[in-house]
Amino acid sequence: MNYFALFIKKTLRFLLKPLSFLPAILVAAMIFNFSAADADESTIESRSVTEEIVHSINYRLEMNWTPAQQEQYVESLEFYVRKAAHFSEYCLLAVTLAIPLYVYGVRGIRLLLLTTLICAAYACTDEYHQTFSLGRSPSFRDVCIDTSGAILGVLLSHPILWFFRVTVFRPLSLERERRMREEYYDRREGRSRKR
């Protein structure tokens, strides 16, 4: 085993472990920023995203919709785009939160429950925060959508966590196994000398 490489990996783990929460903090700040926008800003932003989606579909699939048809599709899809934004924000928050919790030793069902609970609590506070924005109000449906996104995010984070376990953490577990094997052989040699 290359001890220098092992030292580098241990040092990186020690330094990066506390910083692993930084992406989750940035995503939470992004969600907070979106909730701080008043109703008019939020509507303009979601409408522009919906218009971009409709125009892209029209152009890429060569649908040849008239401007009136495009406007009708924008009107009918805007609600779903807003709810998809809620879902995807909290999905991303859960992924960025599950990784550092895993690094700090939270595993299995506890990881699923703790990440979902933190995301659901943040969704509740986020909806409350919206009450301070002009023209916006809290919605229990949005909390449910946010929590559903968080559950999917935790489930999606498992392949990422598996990758880290195999690449970053596996050499350290092999080092532990090597030490245990040496201790076993040392004890066995000690017994054979006594005989």
What mean pLDDT value characterizes the chain?
A: 87
pTM for this prediction: 0.77
| Separation of first and last alpha carbons in the chain | 33
Q: Residue 24: which residues within 8 A CB-CB, separation 6 or more?
A: 93, 96, 97, 100
Query: Confidence band (pLDDT; 50, 70, 90) for 193?
Result: low
The continuous run of DSSP H or E covering 41 comes out as helix 39-60
How many whole angstroms separate alpha carbon 162 and alpha carbon 14? 19
- Domain map (residue ranges) of the chain: 3-39+84-194
Q: What is the pLDDT of residue 48?
A: 93
Closest CA to 109 of 65, 143, 64, 158: 158
Query: Confidence band (pLDDT; 50, 70, 90) for 174?
Result: low
| Lowest pLDDT segment from 4-8, 87-91, 188-192 | 188-192
The conformational region for residue 88 under phi > 0 = left, psi -120 to 50 = alpha, else beta, is alpha
